Amino acid sequence: MFSQFAVGLKLKGKTDHVFIEAEDALVAALKGKIEQPEAVITYARRRNRRGDARDTQHTITNAESRS
């Protein structure tokens, strides 16, 4: 069963986050690192739908990360 996780990234002095569907937070962080190998992962946590709804959405789905 997949859940959505928010993964924080820092790249070239700027921070951002993406939402990733994964089995757990570690897998989500690794998928984020695969997408942005030069970025530093700052956090990986379960998505908070109410709090994260205010932020712009960047999503890496399971199908996108496999292609």
Sequence-ordered list of residues with C-beta below 8 angstroms from that of 9, at least 6 positions apart, any chain: 15, 16, 17, 18, 32, 36, 39, 40, 41, 42
* Residue 64 banded pLDDT, cuts 50, 70, 90: very low
* Residue 40 banded pLDDT, cuts 50, 70, 90: very high
| pLDDT over 90, % of the chain | 51
Enter the tokens of residue 15. Answer: 């921070």
**pLDDT at residue 21 in the model:** 93
Query: 62 or 27, which is more confident?
Result: 27
User: In 1-67, where do the E strands start and end?
Assistant: 3-11, 14-22, 40-46, 59-60
- With a cut of 80, say whether residue 65 has pLDDT above it: no
